[in-house]
Amino acid sequence: MYAEKYLQKVIEWRRDIHAHPELSQHEERTADLVANVLEELGLEVSRNVGGFGVVGLLRGKDAGRTAGLRADMDALPLKEETGLPYASQTEGVMHACGHDTHTAMLLGAACVLSDMREELRGNVKFIFQPAEELNPTGGAPGMIRDGVLDNPNVDGLFALHVWPVYETGKIVMRSGALMGASDRIFLTVHGQTAHGSRPDQGIDAIVAAAHVITGLQGIISRSVSPLDAAVITIGTIHGGYRYNVIPDTVRLEGTVRTLRAEVQDMMPELITRTARGIAEALGASCDVEYVKGYPPMVNDDSLTELACDAVRSRLGDDAVMIAEQPELGAEDFAFFARERPAVMAWLGCRPANISVKDMPKLHNTKFCPDEECFRYGIEYLVQCAAGFLNKPS
């Protein structure tokens, strides 16, 4: 395997990053570590791209296309409970989504591809992105605005995400929609205060809000095709002053998930019309703010085929799994995929002796991916880049 030479170093980098997690837009230490490694490899390095983003450019022996390999660097505001010897040293911040592993594996791929530069026909851009968790803005748009896909132009992009549902050694892909769009909704229901014993003298914002919440679910069942996946979830409710007072204001916040851009585009009007109509029917009113976030993550058909072939050629047919269905979790790599052909894979990181039920999931305070998966992730990144560059256009 390509990965063996650098595997121990990748593990060391990952543990160091894991012990020093940084939230979105605060990835200064991680960015410095990344940039220093890339500079030691002799790459052309750009710092502070779209925030704390880092880009390393490797030029192959011969001219050709440019492949982009991307990893995210930010952590989450969670208190770690893994008990690991290299657990977070930053109170209330944890790498619970595997971005530490993505960064370390991409550094490993940079080491391997640097050794192979005489065999490459074209360039590789190593894109280390900040703020993936910063929904709805994300970190990818800032890097795109700063020209990460230009000079030289990136022709195709590859990324991966550790996925605890799948066993270590499996690399999971599918053409088309892989992950969902993620939007935010903010609703404020306005009523009129009154004593709790005389609701007829006021307009109960809590009752109106309850009807709004229930009514929103009718959008999914009656306004969205049964063949399209969509979710509206209200995650927070804030309202009321005292147990015996009819409140005049209730604030709701939620998320909207869709798999197709066409469905995503229709949701603001449907939600606004439904929420306002229900509130007004009860004598209340409702302000609606709809904030578009990450678009659907759609894998390019030809690049997915190339990635599958690349994995099979290095790791065998058993290493590749085709996902039966997409997930409604979101990923801001989708912004890159809107600009250039791209493919993201899910990397199995569950030890064989741990069941799916017992494996802590992403965004869990006990999440800890199997370090054995790193070799497979590095192989995937290296072989995708080399295969893309050396395949006839």
Q: What tokens does 381 get?
A: 């990144």
Q: How far apart are the first and last CA of the chain?
A: 27
Catalytic residue among 81, 253, 305, 371: 371
Nearest-angstrom CA–CA distance, 358 and 350: 10
Residues 6+ apart with CB under 8 A from 126: 38, 43, 55, 56, 57, 58, 69, 106, 109, 110
Number of H helices and E strands in the chain, helices first, is 9, 16
- 294 tagged catalytic: yes
Q: Which amino acid is at 225?
A: S
Residues 6+ apart with CB under 8 A from 161: 98, 102, 331, 344, 345, 346, 347
Q: Are 284 and 208 in contact (CB under 8 A)?
A: yes
Nearest-angstrom CA–CA distance, 361 and 363: 6
Nearest-angstrom CA–CA distance, 49 and 143: 6
The DSSP bridge partners found for residue 56 are 45, 126
Nearest-angstrom CA–CA distance, 170 and 45: 32
- 371 tagged catalytic: yes
Q: Which amino acid is at 82?
A: T
Catalytic residue among 294, 331, 379, 380: 294
Q: Which amino acid is at 53?
A: G
Tell me the pairing of strands 181-190 and 171-173.
unpaired
Q: Which amino acid is at 194?
A: A
Q: Tell me how far CA of residue 164 lies from CA of 53, 194, 381, in angstroms.
A: 26, 51, 19
Which residues are marked as active site?
294, 371
